A and B are shown apart, each in its own frame.
Chain A
Amino acid sequence: MANRIVKVFPRFERFWHWTQMALIFTLIFTGFGLNGLHGLIGFKIAVMLHTLAALVLLGVWLFATFWLFTTGTWKQFLPRADGMFEVARFYAWGVFRGEDHPYRKLFWRKHNPLQAATYFVLKWMIFPAIWSTGLVYLTYNFWEPLPNAVFWLEIVANLHLLAAYVIVSFVIIHVYLLTVGHGFREHVKPMVTGFDEIDLTPEQEAYLEQNEPWRLKH
């Protein structure tokens, strides 16, 4: 195993991450404005921004999903129990003792098991929950003639709100965990430059040297 600086986040993946961040922040800000939590933005402008940001984000997600499946990157996000306990134990205990993070990033496994599980839940449950309720909410006028539409609207709106609060919680933990270990700057950098420290097998290293030398920093 050789520890190399490898390009693990290609341009699209970084673009995807940061647009997602910007849009999610827009949605959180405008959405909680619409909910009445703050009055920092006018209702009308908030409706426009929220709707636009949501539609753009859905578009980005469609592209990302296509990209994940065509490039095989989707496998990165499959949750695995292997090593999960060690990571959990590290955050709950080891980090206070000055231990090293137990997970070593691999070329085809750049997320630690807890991270992968979190992203899996986010991608398969929380995000679908927010965009499905959001779309149903947005298209209220199409299903309004159904019986008890106002009751269902209230249910949909509250599920949308609940999902939003879960996402806010995720964002807080996500940003906080960037400070654990190598530090905030070190953790954000790979998502900017695309390069991260990865343990490569001799075969992977030889393959990349031969076929994708641009992925390696010398």
Chain B
Amino acid sequence: MRRLASIVWLVLGLGVWLGLAGNGLAQDETGATPPPDRVTAPNTSTADHSKFEILQQSFASGPEVTAACLSCHTEADDQFMHTIHFQWEYESSAGQMLGKKNVLNAFCGNVAGNEPRCTSCHAGYGWDNMNQPPPAQSTAVDCLACHDRSGQYTKLADAAGHPPLEPVKAGAMTITGQPAWAVDLAKAAQSVGQPGRDNCGNCHFYGGGGDNVKHGDLSSVLYEPPLAVDVHMSPEGENFTCSTCHVSDQHEWAGSRYDVHASDPTGTGKPGARRDLATCESCHSNDPHPSTLIGMKLNDHVDVVACQTCHIPEFARGGVATKTMWDWSTAGRLSPEGKPMHEENYIQSDGTALHTYLSTKGDFEWGEDVVPHYAWFDGQVEYTTGDQTIDPEKVVEVNRIHGARDDGKSRIWPFKLMEGRQAYDAGFDKLAYSHVWGPTTDTAFWTNFDWSRAIEAGMKAAGSEYSGDYGFVDTHMYWPITHMVAPASDAVACAECHAQDARLAGLAGIYMPGTETMSWVGILGRLMVLAVILGVLGHGLLRLVTRRKGGSHHG
């Protein structure tokens, strides 16, 4: 018995050891495990790509897959290369050159100088210099980023858009901040279909360096949101993908914060989906509320109040916080041993501790269920680009929301107000570009913690003249809120605005019932009623007193 027992133990022990070793071996070569399957929209395609011979090969790189795609989809590369997803450039109607390639923001600042890290989310392969246009060869387009439906395609966090392939380097991370795994390109290529929530979300949910950091209304919660978070995207609701609303035409997508349709007077238009824009009205029409008394009153609001204002009561819902403040000026503080430090003093509702200080990035504040900032918005956003002179004594608006009550097209919109404190050129009074990412350079801030070298290198990378002096300036940046539409029952109640010091307090150009009970007419009226009450009481009292004195009366 004893011998049998020891044999059993030996066999078990060997099994466990082999299992662990095997697992360790697997980790070395293929990295971590890809994310689990999620609820997605059903596939209605007439083509099963796993049956295509050209896709039944072992691909050695992303561009090889693209070449295979283009052998049938001959015009896709040309279509896609002209879009903002590939060019990262957008000329606004005011003539400003915007897009990630050009703008500065209140988060990581700028792409120039930090390319292979930032361009990890470029829908292409190998763009590593912002001074050049994106690579021009047709195989530089990344078809899989948007069309992979196997769920295991991803991109490395610092490889200018390339996916992690076998063997995965130790410590390699994906664009969603996960330990990287080896992507099976053939499996991905054979799975292709229309983009799902994950295809868009893997980049757009993680903008600014983490989950929901940037937008506030775009977080990993939207992969599979509960109905209370997003009625459109929830599998319990409409189960929409992003492209259900962000309709496309020849790979050009409708709906961008650079080009916002702040109002849509056309509404639903002719039968059939409109391909040119993604507004609430294009499905819900311009009088979306029912023809009841209150419905008609609500419809009276839609010409001046955007749908989002009432129907997205708060953003960053569903348990993932958004960054609301980022102070770069405190970055660079090291531990007594000279090591980078981190503090985690914000506990998200799901229990996750979030960084509130990083030596690399400075101080942060976070928010969940954040009540938006409201402003009149006509759809135009003007940026404080790197060539504009700023007033460092004031809060610099990184982007300015255009619109006013009386321009006939603006509506009151919700925004995420991002507060920042970021570097500027103190000699030339303009926002500064900084070189933060660069594990092997002696200028990158995140490696060397030296602002003067980081800014000098950043300005050089961006081709912007630098005075040599830098400082930090308070900034505000505005992000239109349009996702996370709540169920109608959770819409902002009337009294949240129609009350004193309520949500829209301080907004110019409005008169709202319920907000000014102490207007001078209100005071006058109160005094009048008070005088009447006093008069009546006095009269009555006098009658009572004179009656007691024995005056004759009716009876």
Q: Say whether A120 faces chain B, with CB atoms less than 8 Å apart.
A: no
B509, B515, B532, most chain A CB atoms within 10 A: B532
CB distance from A53 to the nearest CB of B (A): 11
CB distance from B196 to the nearest CB of A (A): 38
Contact assessment for A169 and B529 in the assembled complex, using a CB-CB cutoff below 8 Å: yes
Contact assessment for B554 and A169 in the assembled complex, using a CB-CB cutoff below 8 Å: no
Give residues 512-555 of B contacting A (CB, 8 Å): 513-517, 519, 521-522, 524-526, 528-529, 532-533, 536, 539-540, 542-543, 546-547, 551-554
Q: Say whether B460 faces chain A, with CB atoms less than 8 Å apart.
A: no
Q: Which of B235-243, B372-380, B495-503 contacts A (4 or more CB under 8 A)?
A: B495-503
Find chain A residues with CB under 8 A from B510 CB: 150
Give residues 291-305 of B contacting A (CB, 8 Å): 293-294, 297, 300, 303
Contact assessment for B519 and A158 in the assembled complex, using a CB-CB cutoff below 8 Å: yes
CB distance from A174 to the nearest CB of B (A): 10
Contact assessment for A172 and B546 in the assembled complex, using a CB-CB cutoff below 8 Å: no
- Cα distance, A176 to B46, chains bound together (Å): 83
**Which one of A43, A98, A140, A158 lies within 8 Å of B551 (CB-CB)?**
A98
Q: Say whether B72 faces chain A, with CB atoms less than 8 Å apart.
A: no
Q: Say whether A88 faces chain B, with CB atoms less than 8 Å apart.
A: no
Q: Which residue of B lies closest to A100 (CB)?
A: B554
Q: Say whether A144 faces chain B, with CB atoms less than 8 Å apart.
A: yes
CB distance from B406 to the nearest CB of A (A): 8
CB distance from B459 to the nearest CB of A (A): 46
Q: Say whether A161 faces chain B, with CB atoms less than 8 Å apart.
A: yes
Contact assessment for A158 and B495 in the assembled complex, using a CB-CB cutoff below 8 Å: no
**Which one of B297, B522, B533 lies within 8 Å of A47 (CB-CB)?**
B297
Q: Type the 1/0 row for A141-155, where 1 means its CB is closer than 8 Å to any CB of B.
A: 100100000100110
Number of interface residues of B (CB under 8 A): 41
Q: Say whether A51 faces chain B, with CB atoms less than 8 Å apart.
A: yes
Give residues 89-116 of A contacting B (CB, 8 Å): 91, 95-98, 100
- Cα distance, A12 to B494, chains bound together (Å): 38
**Which one of B405, B551, B554 lies within 8 Å of A97 (CB-CB)?**
B551
- Cα distance, A37 to B493, chains bound together (Å): 18
Known: A42-B495, A150-B511, A157-B511. A140 touches B529 (CB 8 A): no
Contact assessment for B532 and A173 in the assembled complex, using a CB-CB cutoff below 8 Å: yes
Contact assessment for B528 and A98 in the assembled complex, using a CB-CB cutoff below 8 Å: no
Q: Say whether A78 faces chain B, with CB atoms less than 8 Å apart.
A: no
Known: A43-B495, A154-B511, A172-B536. A165 touches B528 (CB 8 A): yes
**Which one of B303, B528, B539 lies within 8 Å of A144 (CB-CB)?**
B303
Find chain B residues with CB under 8 A from A173 CB: 532, 536
Contact assessment for B509 and A161 in the assembled complex, using a CB-CB cutoff below 8 Å: no
Contact assessment for B533 and A172 in the assembled complex, using a CB-CB cutoff below 8 Å: yes
Contact assessment for B493 and A96 in the assembled complex, using a CB-CB cutoff below 8 Å: no
Find chain A residues with CB under 8 A from B524 CB: 162, 165
Q: Say whether A36 faces chain B, with CB atoms less than 8 Å apart.
A: yes
Contact assessment for A44 and B493 in the assembled complex, using a CB-CB cutoff below 8 Å: yes
Find chain A residues with CB under 8 A from B540 CB: 176, 179
Give residues 111-148 of A contacting B (CB, 8 Å): 140-141, 144
CB distance from B336 to the nearest CB of A (A): 56
Find chain A residues with CB under 8 A from B542 CB: 96
CB distance from A88 to the nearest CB of B (A): 13
Give residues 150-185 of A contacting B (CB, 8 Å): 150, 153-154, 157-159, 161-162, 164-166, 168-169, 172-173, 176, 179-183
**Which one of B498, B516, B529 lies within 8 Å of A43 (CB-CB)?**
B498
Contact assessment for A157 and B525 in the assembled complex, using a CB-CB cutoff below 8 Å: no
Known: A172-B529, A172-B533. A48 touches B293 (CB 8 A): yes
- Cα distance, A14 to B539, chains bound together (Å): 29
Find chain A residues with CB under 8 A from B519 CB: 158, 161
Q: Which residue of B lies closest to A166 (CB)?
A: B528
Contact assessment for A169 and B494 in the assembled complex, using a CB-CB cutoff below 8 Å: no
Known: A48-B294, A144-B303. A36 touches B543 (CB 8 A): no
Contact assessment for B513 and A35 in the assembled complex, using a CB-CB cutoff below 8 Å: yes
Q: Say whether A52 faces chain B, with CB atoms less than 8 Å apart.
A: yes
- Cα distance, A180 to B511, chains bound together (Å): 43
- Cα distance, A183 to B552, chains bound together (Å): 15
Contact assessment for A98 and B300 in the assembled complex, using a CB-CB cutoff below 8 Å: no
Contact assessment for A162 and B521 in the assembled complex, using a CB-CB cutoff below 8 Å: yes
**Which one of B293, B300, B499, B525 lies within 8 Å of A52 (CB-CB)?**
B293
- Cα distance, A112 to B303, chains bound together (Å): 52
Find chain A residues with CB under 8 A from B294 CB: 44, 47-48
Known: A141-B300, A176-B539. A165 touches B511 (CB 8 A): no
Contact assessment for A96 and B533 in the assembled complex, using a CB-CB cutoff below 8 Å: no
Give residues 15-66 of A contacting B (CB, 8 Å): 34-37, 42-44, 47-48, 51-52
Find chain A residues with CB under 8 A from B526 CB: 165
**Which one of A44, A144, A162 lies within 8 Å of B525 (CB-CB)?**
A162
**Which one of B525, B552, B554 lies within 8 Å of A181 (CB-CB)?**
B554
Known: A43-B493, A141-B303. A97 touches B546 (CB 8 A): yes
Find chain B residues with CB under 8 A from A180 CB: 543
- Cα distance, A158 to B516, chains bound together (Å): 10
Known: A36-B515, A181-B554, A182-B554. A169 touches B293 (CB 8 A): no
- Cα distance, A153 to B405, chains bound together (Å): 14
CB distance from B482 to the nearest CB of A (A): 24
CB distance from B533 to the nearest CB of A (A): 6
5 A–B pairs (Cβ distance < 8 Å), ordered by A? A42-B494, A43-B499, A47-B294, A97-B551, A161-B525
4 new A-B contacts at CB < 8 Å, known A36-B515, A51-B297, A165-B521:
A36-B500, A37-B517, A48-B293, A140-B300
Q: Identify the 9 closest CB pairs spanning chains A and B, nearest first.
A: A165-B525, A98-B551, A36-B517, A43-B494, A98-B552, A96-B546, A43-B495, A98-B553, A158-B521
